[in-house]
Structure 1
Amino acid sequence: MKPRFLVFAIACLMVLIAAEAAVAQEEKNVSQCQAIAQSIPQATFASFTGPAPIVGAGASDQSVTLTYIGHSTFLIETPGGVTIATDYSGWYSPPHVPMVVTMNRAHSSHYTLAADPGIQHVLHGWSDVPGEKAKVNLVVGDTYIRNVTTDIRGGFGAPQTDGNSIFIFEIAGLCIGHLGHLHYELTQAHYAEIGRLDVVMVPVDGGLTMGSDSMSRVIKRLRASLILPMHQPRPLQSFLSMFGPDFDISYAPTNTITVSLRTLPRKPLIYVAKGMQ
Structure 2
Amino acid sequence: MASAVSERIGPYPSLRRLTQLAALLFAMVAALALAGPAYAVCQLIADAPYRSPAPGEARVWHAALGAGEVQIRYIGHSTFELETPQGVRIATDYNDSIRPFLPPTVATMNGAHSTHYAVSPDPGIEHLLYGWNPQGGPIDHDLTVQDVRIRNIQTNIRGWDGESRRLGNSIFIFEVADLCIAHLGHLHHRLTREDLTRLGQIDIVFAAIDNSSTLRLESLMHVLESIGPAMVIPMHFHFSGALQSFVGRATEAGYEIIQADTPKLIVTRAGLPMRKTVYIMMPGGA
TM-score past 0.5 threshold? yes
What's the secondary structure of 2:115's corresponding residue? helix
Per the TM alignment, residue 111 of structure 1 is displaced from its structure 2 partner at its CA by 0.1
**Which residue identity is paired with 2:248?**
S
The AA in structure 2 aligned to 1:253 is D
| Residue identity opposite 2:235 in structure 1 | M
Match of 2:118 among 112, 117, 130: 112
Amino acid at match of 1:103: M
Q: SS at 2:249's partner residue?
A: coil
- Percentage identity across paired residues of the two chains: 41
Asked whether 1:249 is paired with 2:251, we answer no
Residue pair 2:67, 2:85 contacting (<8 A) in 1 also: no
Q: Whose Rg is larger?
A: 2
Question: For residue 240 of structure 1, what is the aligned residue in structure 2?
Answer: 247
CA distance in 2, matches of 1:143, 1:258: 16
1:136-177 CA-partner distances (Å, limit 9, x unpaired): 110001000000000000252121111000000000110000
Please give the root-mean-square deviation of Cα atoms over the aligned residues, in Å. 1.5
- 1:68-107 alignment, distance < 5 Å: 68-107=74-113
SS in 2 for 1:202: strand
| Aligned pair partner of 1:262 in 258, 267, 270 | 270
Unaligned runs of 5+ in 2: 1-65
Matched-pair contact (CA < 8 Å) for 2:208–2:214: yes
TM-score (norm 1): 0.75
Contact 2:81/2:90 (CA < 8 Å) preserved in 1?
yes
Residue 240 of structure 1 and its aligned partner are, at CA, apart by 1.8
Alignment of 1:1-277 (within 5 A): 62-130=68-136, 132-233=137-238, 234=240, 235-243=242-250, 244=252, 246-275=254-283
Deviations 1:223-253 (A, max 9, x none): 1011100012430111122222631000110
* Amino acid aligned to 1:246: G
Residue 211 of structure 1: CA displacement? 1.2
AA paired with 2:213?
L
Tell me how many residue pairs correspond in the alignment.
Answer: 216
- The higher relative CO (CA closer than 8 Å, separation ≥ 6) is in 1
Question: Which aligned segments of 4 or more residues in structure 1 are displaced greater than 4 angstroms?
Answer: none
Which amino acid in 2 is paired with 1:272?
I
